[in-house]
Structure 1
Amino acid sequence: MTAVDVHYVVEGSPDGPPVLLSGSLGSDLRMWAPQVAALTTAGYRVVRYDQRGHGRSPVPPGPYSLADLGADVLALLDRLQIRRAHFVGLSLGGMVGMWVGQYAPHRLHTLTLCCTSAELGPPSGWADRAATVRAEGTGAVAEAAVQRWFTPQWRAAHPERTRDFQDMIASTPAEGYAACCAAIETMDLTARLPKISAPTLVVAGADDPATPPAHAQRIADAVPLARLEIIGPAAHLANVEQPGIVNDLILGHLKENS
């Protein structure tokens, strides 16, 4: 479990309560653009970062574990001299948030888990996807991923943004993507969910084929201070497809637990 110095940007009030935004497999920090204005206007200090192997972060040789990705978060908080943060994670980012909540609970003020899972099998599916990406590059999985990320209606209404997200996936380093697939392949956070002590908001997309609402329900049932919100129409990147609703839910959660 060796941390790397991930790429990040900080926006908003330097003295505001810190909110860390952690993204999905195949994304970079641009996926959180719909949340920045709402959070900074409300007075928060917003930190977005690229997972290791993604965007402008380093790409160490894989495989990675969830503990590696969690260690990157703790190292980033240390670099920014942030003792405790509000953590918002989607998909892989939510898995990282659950790991931090289980193994470093003192670093979290609140936890928001969007469109994620504590156990996302079958493992063979992630091994197969990693093998495809290593052989053919991330462009080979980009179109299928975007179809999971957004409902058909959203894609039809936003063709240019859909292409931008497909290009984002295709530009992800193959080794970084495949190595993060391994982190999901070997992940099982279910047994330690009751150890998460931070007030937790769990958000599910009603139309999410990647992490359906049942996965969110399982998390919300096991985390002591959790509540569940299912929103729609929304697929996997609910923060992009329904930014107004997601922003209101996040801000309400932060304010209730400030």
Structure 2
Amino acid sequence: MSDFLTIQGRVHHFDLRPGTARVPIVFVNSLGTDLRIWDRVIAALPAEWTVLTYDKSGHGLSQGGARTMEEFASDLAALMDANSLEGAMVCGVSVGGMIAQALAASRSDLVAGLVLCNTAHRIGTPESWEERIAALDTTGLEAMADGIIERWFSPTFRRDHPQATAGYRMMLARTPLAGYRAVCAAIRDADLTEATQRLTCPTLCVAGTDDRATPPDLVQALSQLIPTAGFTCYDNVGHLPCIEAPDRLARDIQTHMAALP
């Protein structure tokens, strides 16, 4: 059920599907997207699972204000606390995977396991993110959208699903500028290496062969940093497997969930 919660004086939009399963699952979005990117994954999961999705600060229907990765993780912790969710499987893609890592490091009681899709302990360089922010301030997201979409989706997906590609481009281009900029700055400033290498929860790292934003070798390096992590790579999939390969991701999540202690 779609609802709203005030966290640190800011309204956050979330959707909670209650269930009876022992372990809830929480999904965390990428830069420039909202909670709808998980719809097809959730549709392929067992109906008895409790599922939480939400729009992070400055995205979708959530007010902006978070500035650091720690603040984005704190927002999620407050949302989970308010909904009495603990010991959850937390699945994040791109910056959502960074938020999931930061949450697991700061609130291990909330996280029983992780699925880290197309992400890393550090993404890009400060210089590359400064360039992105400068372009954003100069031209806006609409002018940048085509180039970003080429990094999001594989050539096969863009060719075979032109309507979906156009739809997700609109989602990206309509992201509030201040919210997008704040997340860029948070990624620029985040180096989770020390905290992430101390994680001990069961973790699955997922990559895509056609991902130009977080290539497979970067995601594999993340998996090697976490002692409890496994790694898998999807052929002909780009940066958002939740959109390009939702059924496979759902199966992998279920397998990973079944292996939890």
Q: Which interval holds the TM-score relative to the shorter structure?
A: over 0.9
> What are the Cα deviations for residues 99-123 of structure 1, in whole angstroms up to 9, with x where unaligned?
1122221210110000001111221
Among 56, 59, 62, which residue is 2:61 paired with?
A: 56
Residue 95 of structure 2 corresponds to which residue in structure 1?
92
Residue 27 in 1 paired to residue 33 in 2?
yes
Which residue identity does 2:120 align to in structure 1? S
Residue 197 in 1 paired to residue 203 in 2?
no
Separation in structure 2 between the aligned mates of residue 114 and residue 23 of structure 1, nearest angstrom = 10
- Unpaired runs of 5+ residues, structure 1, are none
Alpha-carbon offset, residue 20 of structure 1? 0.5
Residue 162 of structure 1 corresponds to which residue in structure 2?
165
Q: How does 1:144-223 map to 2 (within 5 A)?
A: 144-223=147-226
Residue 131 of structure 2 corresponds to which residue in structure 1?
128
Residue 139 of structure 1 corresponds to which residue in structure 2?
142
Bigger mean CA offset, 87-96 vs 8-17? 8-17
Alpha-carbon offset, residue 179 of structure 1? 0.7
Which residue identity does 1:22 align to in structure 2? V
Which residue identity does 1:37 align to in structure 2? A
- Unpaired runs of 5+ residues, structure 2, are 1-6
Alpha-carbon offset, residue 140 of structure 1? 2.2
Q: TM-score, normalised by structure 2?
A: 0.92
Separation in structure 1 between the aligned mates of residue 101 and residue 116 of structure 2, nearest angstrom = 8
Give secondary structure in 2 for the equivalent of 1:13: coil
> What are the Cα deviations for residues 189-230 of structure 1, in whole angstroms up to 9, with x where unaligned?
112222111100000111111001111111111112110011
Residue 13 in 1 paired to residue 16 in 2?
no
Q: TM-score, normalised by structure 1?
A: 0.93
Bigger mean CA offset, 20-29 vs 190-199? 190-199
Which residue identity does 2:17 align to in structure 1? E
Residue 234 in 1 paired to residue 237 in 2?
yes
Alpha-carbon offset, residue 255 of structure 1? 1.2
Which residue identity does 2:14 align to in structure 1? Y
Give secondary structure in 2 for the equivalent of 1:58: coil
Residue 251 of structure 1 corresponds to which residue in structure 2?
254
Residue 4 of structure 2 corresponds to which residue in structure 1?
none
Task: Report the number of matched residues.
Answer: 255
Contact 2:25-2:88 at 8 Å conserved across structures: yes
Contact 2:42-2:250 at 8 Å conserved across structures: no
Separation in structure 2 between the aligned mates of residue 257 and residue 98 of structure 1, nearest angstrom = 17
Hey, which bits of structure 1, 4+ residues long, moved more than 4 A?
1-5
Separation in structure 1 between the aligned mates of residue 46 and residue 54 of structure 2, nearest angstrom = 16
Alpha-carbon offset, residue 3 of structure 1? 7.8
Separation in structure 1 between the aligned mates of residue 24 and residue 14 of structure 2, nearest angstrom = 13
Which residue identity does 1:30 align to in structure 2? R
Which residue identity does 2:118 align to in structure 1? C
Residue 36 of structure 1 corresponds to which residue in structure 2?
42
Residue 74 of structure 2 corresponds to which residue in structure 1?
71
Separation in structure 2 between the aligned mates of residue 181 and residue 70 of structure 1, nearest angstrom = 15
Separation in structure 2 between the aligned mates of residue 235 and residue 3 of structure 1, nearest angstrom = 36
Contact 1:4-1:58 at 8 Å conserved across structures: yes
Alpha-carbon offset, residue 132 of structure 1? 2.3
Contact 1:21-1:49 at 8 Å conserved across structures: yes
Separation in structure 2 between the aligned mates of residue 185 and residue 257 of structure 1, nearest angstrom = 33
Which residue identity does 2:123 align to in structure 1? L
Which residue identity does 1:234 align to in structure 2? V
> What are the Cα deviations for residues 78-132 of structure 1, in whole angstroms up to 9, with x where unaligned?
1111122110000010000111122221210110000001111221211221232
Alpha-carbon offset, residue 133 of structure 1? 2.0
Distance 1:20 1:171, change over 3 A: same
Alpha-carbon offset, residue 174 of structure 1? 0.2
Which residue identity does 2:191 align to in structure 1? D
